C-alpha cells in the first residue's frame, strides 16, 4: 500500500483492487455466505468495480469542472435555475444509498457556465460518502467560489435507505435541505422566486 492525500490533505492508505476484493470475501464469510459457491465467485470483483463507480467523486476535482465560463450572454444577469438533477449518493454512517433530486440556482457575475457543469458538480460531490447537509453546502460553496457568483441556492430532496430499509424503517420519509449564499441569502425576493421556480 502507498500513502495518498485526500482533499483535506490527510494521509490515507491507498488500497489495491486485490486488497479490496479480499475484504469483500471476508464480508461474505462474515454474513454467513460461502464465497466459493458458483454464484458468488465473481461477486468480490463485481462489488469492487461497483464501488469504484459509487465513489468516483474522490478522484475528481469539482472546481476544475467549472474552469471554463462564457461571457457572451448579452448582459444576462438574472438567476439560472437547474431543476431535478438526479442524486445518487451513500450516507457516511451506514454506507446506505441516498436517492433524490437536487435543484441548483446561481446569479451570474458577467459570466455563465455550461449547464452540464452544474449537474457534474452535483455528481462529483454525490459520489462520496456524505451527509445530505454537507452535500448541500459543498455544492453551493463550490459554485459560489468558482463562478464568483452573486448568489447561489441549492435544494436537495432525497430518501435515505438507512431510514427506509433499517432502523426506524419509515419508507415514505424524505429529507429536504436548503442552502443560500449571496443575494439568495440577503434578499428574500430572490429566495422566494427560486422556491416558486423549483415548486413548478
Of 130, 132, 138, 183, the catalytic one is 132
Q: Is 18 a catalytic residue?
A: no
Q: What grid cell was written down for 198? A: 423549483
Q: Is 110 a catalytic residue?
A: no
Q: Is 162 a catalytic residue?
A: yes
Q: Where are the alpha helices (DSSP H) in the chain?
A: 17-30, 43-54, 62-65, 115-126, 132-147, 161-164, 183-186, 188-199
Q: Is 103 a catalytic residue?
A: no
| Whether 146 contacts 137, CB under 8 Å | no
Q: Is 19 a catalytic residue?
A: no
Of 123, 130, 138, 160, the catalytic one is 160
Of 93, 110, 133, 145, the catalytic one is 93
User: Which of 108, 61, 47 is CA-nearest to residue 82?
Assistant: 108
**Which backbone phi and psi does 61 adopt, to 5 degrees?**
-105, 110
Q: Is 92 a catalytic residue?
A: yes
Of 33, 82, 94, 161, the catalytic one is 94
Annotated catalytic residues are 91-94, 132, 160, 162
Amino acid at each position: 500500500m502507498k500513502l495518498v492525500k485526500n482533499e483535506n490533505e490527510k494521509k490515507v492508505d491507498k488500497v489495491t483492487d486485490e486488497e479490496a476484493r479480499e475484504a469483500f470475501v471476508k464480508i461474505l464469510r462474515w454474513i454467513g455466505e460461502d464465497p466459493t459457491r458458483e454464484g458468488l465467485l465473481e461477486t468480490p470483483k463485481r462489488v469492487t468495480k461497483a464501488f469504484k463507480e459509487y465513489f468516483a467523486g474522490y478522484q475528481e476535482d469539482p472546481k476544475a469542472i467549472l474552469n471554463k465560463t462564457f461571457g457572451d450572454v448579452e448582459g444576462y444577469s438574472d438567476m439560472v435555475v437547474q431543476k431535478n438533477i438526479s442524486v445518487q449518493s451513500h450516507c457516511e454512517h451506514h454506507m446506505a444509498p441516498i436517492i433524490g433530486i437536487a435543484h441548483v440556482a446561481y446569479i451570474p457575475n458577467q459570466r455563465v457556465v455550461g449547464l452540464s457543469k452544474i449537474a457534474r458538480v452535483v455528481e462529483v460531490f454525490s459520489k462520496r460518502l456524505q451527509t445530505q447537509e454537507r452535500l448541500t453546502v459543498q455544492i453551493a460553496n463550490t459554485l459560489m467560489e468558482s463562478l464568483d457568483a452573486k448568489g447561489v441556492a441549492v435544494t436537495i430532496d432525497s430518501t435515505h435507505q438507512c431510514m427506509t430499509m433499517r432502523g426506524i424503517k419509515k419508507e415514505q420519509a424524505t429529507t429536504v435541505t436548503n442552502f443560500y449564499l449571496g443575494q439568495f441569502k440577503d434578499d428574500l425576493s430572490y429566495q422566494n422566486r427560486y422556491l416558486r421556480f423549483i415548486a413548478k
